[in-house]
Amino acid sequence: MMTKTILAAITLLATCSLAIPVKAENPAHLKQLLATGACVGCNLSGADLSNVHILGADLRNANLQDAKLVNANLEGADLTGANLVGANLSGAFLTNATLNQANLMRADLTNAQIYNAETIGANLAGINLTGAKVLGSGISVGGD
């Protein structure tokens, strides 16, 4: 009987822990980015940066995996070497952004505006460009 009670308690705790959203970003790094516009090598994974205006932000080698950057204005941002795997950049403004060596695998760029962005060596596998406006960058939309 005791074993069944312990097993039930463990199962309940495991189920509850799955329902609690996990924040992975470093709060100090998030504060630094918003205050200074620079956070080289920061851990911002899973951060909600929707609607932020961080023009010219220095996010080189930052971890933005699964970050929410919906409608973010990243004009002129340097995201060289950044981890953007699974990031939601829908509606983002990426004019003159530098994405060289960035990992954008499975990133959502739906309705994003990407003009003159540098993408040398970037991993663009599985990105979603539905409705995106792309001009003057190494990102191609459809075609043969």
Backbone φ and ψ of 13, nearest 5°: -65, -40
116 within some domain: yes
Residue 89 lies in a domain: yes
In a domain, 58, yes or no: yes
Handedness of CA 36, 42, 47, 50 (dihedral sign): positive
Whether the model pTM is above 0.85: no
pLDDT tens sequence across 73-99:
999 999 999 999 999 999 999 999 999
**DSSP character at residue 86:** T
Structural domain of 99: 23-144
Residue 118 belongs to some domain of the structure: yes
Let me know if 122 is exposed, middle or buried by CB neighbors in 10 A (0-12, 13-18, 19+).
buried
Distances from the Cα of 67 to the Cαs of 13, 55, 76, 107, 142, in angstroms? Answer: 27, 17, 19, 10, 25
Q: Is residue 8 part of a domain?
A: no
**Rounded Cα–Cα distance for residues 134 and 119 (Å):** 12
Residue 7 included in any domain:
no
- Each residue of 92-125: pLDDT tens digit? 999 999 999 999 999 999 999 999 999 999 999 9
Q: What is the CATH number of the domain that holds 63?
A: 2.160.20.80
- The structural domain count of the chain equals 1
What's the sign of the alpha-carbon dihedral 32, 36, 41, 44? positive
Residues counted in the chain = 144
Q: Is residue 13 part of a domain?
A: no
In sequence order, what DSSP letters do the residues of 100-117 get, joined into one string?
A: TT-B-TT-B-TT-EEES-
Q: Is residue 10 part of a domain?
A: no
How far is Cα 24 from Cα 69, in angstroms, rounded to an integer?
A: 15
Taking 3-state DSSP, the helix, strand and coil percentages for the chain, each rounded to the nearest 5, stand at: 20, 15, 65
List pLDDT tens digits, range 1-44: 555 544 444 444 444 434 334 456 889 998 999 999 999 999 99
